[in-house]
Structure 1
Amino acid sequence: MMKILVVDDEPDVRQLFEQRFRREIRSGVFSFTFAYSGEAALEYLHDHFSEVVLILSDINMPGMSGLELLRRIKQEHPAPPPPTVMMITAYADQESHKQAMQLGANDFLTKPVDFSALKEKLISMDKA
């Protein structure tokens, strides 16, 4: 089972992911946990770091941004294997993309999320 942490300040994100991945969740392929801020994500990772395989994080959040969260994850958890981190943003600007990649992001997605493409990426990661 691939454990995925979704970090986004919009509460409806949980329902969206649970609908789009209903079959995979039910069959035990994926397990999702949701954090509604960068701070909550760090708190969760403090206790569950070794379980999380993938982090999907929004960039624009109040308080700690997704980029700051990414920097903190890479800083505080350098031990292998680090989780894969995919950044999600409604603003596909080059600067955010460049900064995310420099900070160690593995992928960069734009909102609205293309769930078919995301599902394919996750399934290929799970098989790797």
Structure 2
Amino acid sequence: MIDIICIEDEEVFRRNLTEILEAEGYKVKAFSDGAEALTYMQSPHEGLPKIVICDINLPQVSGYEFVRRIKMLDSQAASIPVIYLSAMGQKQDIVKGMALNVADYLVKPIDFDILTSKVKSLMG
């Protein structure tokens, strides 16, 4: 079963993020765009993740649209906590992201200690 889905279009950052989370003991499935991740969420082969970590500026399906769509899938998918990671750090960007009822919004560059702490708290 997948613990975390990471959606990040920057390859090096996605790889680093995946490696750090896997080193913490999580099973991670990474995607480079929201469309691929949405397809996976609509027909999960390994079950739904416990957490989604998602960039906002993504090709094809943005992080905003991805969250809107998973919230409409079913109650189980809608309850998955989402952590946004974004370079868009202005107040209006954060308010827009948090309005989608996500668990958190972290501004890049990311402090990985803070991120892994957030993940641990959401995993329970």
TM-score normalised to structure 2 length: 0.86
The residue aligned with 1:13 is: 13
Shift of 1:44: 0.9
The residue aligned with 1:32 is: 28
What whole-Å deviation, never above 9, does each CA across 1:44-90 have from its counterpart, x for those lacking one? Answer: 11122843110011011122211111111112233477110011101
Give the residue type in structure 1 aligned to 2:31.
Answer: A
Please state which structure has a larger fraction of its residues in strand: 1
The partner residue of 1:69 within 62, 66, 76 is 66
| Matched residues, number | 123
Asked if residue 47 in structure 1 is aligned to residue 43 in structure 2, the reply is yes
Query: Sequence identity, in percent?
Result: 28
Greater CA deviation, 79-88 or 107-116? Answer: 79-88
**Preserved CA contact (<8 Å) 1:74 1:104:** no
Shift of 1:107: 0.5
Task: Measure the CA separation in 1 of the matches of 2:77 and 2:88.
Answer: 31
Structure 1 residues 80 and 62: alpha-carbon distance in aligned structure 2, compared to 1, 3 A threshold: closer
The residue aligned with 2:23 is: 23
Task: Measure the CA separation in 1 of the matches of 2:38 and 2:21.
Answer: 24
Tell me, which stretches of 5 or more residues in structure 2 are unaligned?
none
Greater CA deviation, 107-116 or 117-126? Answer: 117-126
The residue aligned with 1:113 is: 110
- For 2:101, what is the secondary structure of its paired residue? coil
TM-score normalised to structure 1 length: 0.83
**Preserved CA contact (<8 Å) 2:42 2:73:** no
Indicate the RMSD between aligned Cα atoms, in angstroms.
2.1
